[in-house]
Structure 1
Amino acid sequence: MSDNEAFRTDVRTWLDTHLSGEFAGLRGTGGPGRDHEAFEERLAWNRHLAAAGWTGLGWPEEYGGRGLSLEQQVIFHEEYARADAPHTVNHLGEQLLGPTLIAFGTEEQKQRFLPKILDVTELWAQGYSEPGAGSDLASVATKARLDERTGEWVVDGQKIWTSLAHCAQWIFVLARTEPGSVKHAGLSFLLVPIDQPGVEVRPIEQLTGGSEFNEVFFTGARTSADLVVGEVGGGWRIATGLLGFERGVSTLGQQVGFARELDDLIDVARGNGSIDDPVIRDRLAQLKVEFEVMRANAVRGLSRLDGGSDSAAGGGAASIAKLVWGNWHRKLGEVAMQVRGPASLLQSSGPEAYNLDNWQRLFLFSRADTIYGGSDEIQKNILAERVLGLPKEPKVALA
């Protein structure tokens, strides 16, 4: 048995053993559109993973990680998804900020924050998008100025679509620290505590009934002067490097979840007879073929990327992957409604006033798949302008 095969067996055995007892009922909970489900229980599970050494798998051992190979990280995410294990609550800290601090942070920042990310005692939120700067992050207007008297950054502005900010203790914020600067210049990457008078978090209720996204308002919020990652004014490089980590090995685990959803939908089609409809059967078959192509493309893309590379690296592999999976998953939600027919329009019975079933929630949340994490339009511009070298899209002034 090879080392990777032995590792796969270890992961599978551990998950089978530990997704039992108090954690048995957590299988399949959480995830996009469902992060409100059993949050405290999933937090306990995430800390249980940490205690057993299943966090920071790709982090260097010197910072408390396992230092596992890319292949072994992929194996873990695949087996985790196959076990239908609960969605973790620390993705933004473990998968995004942690690797970013390891790549770009000071030694003091690493020693301060990495241990608490690893053991899941501090949770993080992502302060990127704003009402006037969604996928176009270079247009952020949130400002930060250095108060020389107190040695602190003072932050003013607003962020939106901030995942799990209502549960987090810290938020990493892209802010404009050079007055008069525009676009990519003059931005800094700050680490800001949430629990302070200058930060207000307002949950946004979604079509799915959940509220994992938030508006975050900064009014004279403060953070220490040394909690800027990278150079002051050099935040764009840090921000895009973090997005490169976002589209890393966990993508393959995500696709195992997609495969399960497709298989479950095919079972529904067989059960209600809709698979005998040639149009529905053709759409399901097309989804199956497209999934296999998507997976092969993801594996190829990972082999061409270094951690922290931006979306233009590797021939635009990250942007291509986002375009492909976002559109495929949205189509899956549409086909699910077609397979279920009139039943897809009916609310499930239950004590809640708004009680969606999993297929309805999938359909509603997947409408956003081509928007969040960088919209299709932004990904296409990255590929056209920064990979293919085509002329930039003309900017049209708004009246």
Structure 2
Amino acid sequence: MKTLQAVRGMNDILPADSALWQYLETKVATLLAGYGYQQIRMPIVEPTELFKRSIGEVTDIVEKEMYTFDDRNGDSLTLRPEGTAGCVRAMLEHGLLGSGVAQKVWYTGPMFRHERPQKGRYRQFHQIGVETFNLTGPDIDAELIVLTARLWRQLGLQDAVTLELNSLGSSEDRARYRDALVTYLRERFEQLDADSQRRLDSNPLRVLDSKNPDTQALLVDAPKLADYLNDEARAHFSQLCALLDAAGVEYRINPRLVRGLDYYGLTVFEWVTDRLGAQGTVCAGGRYDGLVQQLGGKPAPAVGFAMGLERLLLLIQTLEQVPAELANQLDVYLVTVGEAAQRSGLQLAEQLRDDLPQLRMLVHCGGGSFKSQFKKADKSGAPYALILGEQETLEQTIGLKPLRDGGEQEQLAWADIAARLQQLL
């Protein structure tokens, strides 16, 4: 019988890797709690129409990348390719945007896009997303950027990432700019790459984001979006830059930064790195003030971002910023030899867990000789072994053996174990 394997581009996260995932997720959750953000959890399957209306029917995501299927009722459903649309749907469905109350939420989980799998880009990938609603000023845009800058410092990545900023202005600004850009590019249509030629009719702003060097060369003399911004959009962007300057956050204005989703307007930003080859963006977002109304709600300002966990983890590993303590997932390995020791060991282990809630202890299961158990204790990576045999059980003592530094074994009374472990760990 053929051995079954995971779907291409959808990867298992094995026990040896999960500690680093938990480390990153905990860092982000703790940081966001410190800024007053609350977690929201949404389904991974949504009505297909949600993404057509939010992301845009002529985007690559909707046209080519979504996992879409009809369920048994004939309804078209899609595995979520991103989180913002589902978050807005949830906020509207549960009436959380009424009365102009500010909302700050975050979520985490898998997203799905049918792309060509490559390092740092998979068909099932994981994101942490942050969304805010009913806040209009550039101060909340700045807060999102400042908190991500703090995260990079906490992870030791601050020297490997660069912030890129742009303003897309209002929908009217983009419409006027789109006309000027299309006029310019049509005169040079034959010089565009095939993908940009296709986008010229469906989504011309995405031509600015082309990775083709010849197309990028054509864009050097193209009209600039900044020249088409209204006074309000200019003021918003200027104030954002002033806030970031005051906070000491360095940035580069990138006039070709447009993002890949139709719902963005005003502020857009990306944190990029040159340490991962082609997969350079590790966190990106911006304003989407029109999306709530677009999905059936009353107009509400909104801004957010998403960060890709696989790429962040890859960057942490590439820069050798994995905390040393993650290499060892155990503090103690409890060896029990004999039936009486096994019974007492289970009881003793539970008492230690009551006394030391943070203790990471593996109690040997499956029997075996002292020698075989001790070999497993040594291979476990734990710095200490507790040894409980028949004699120790009778005397209500236990051996404490250092496994890493060649130290001498101690004999302790059961009542003294917790205090001694607390000293050592």
Structure whose CA Rg is larger:
2
TM-score by length of 2: 0.24
Greater fraction of residues in strand: 2
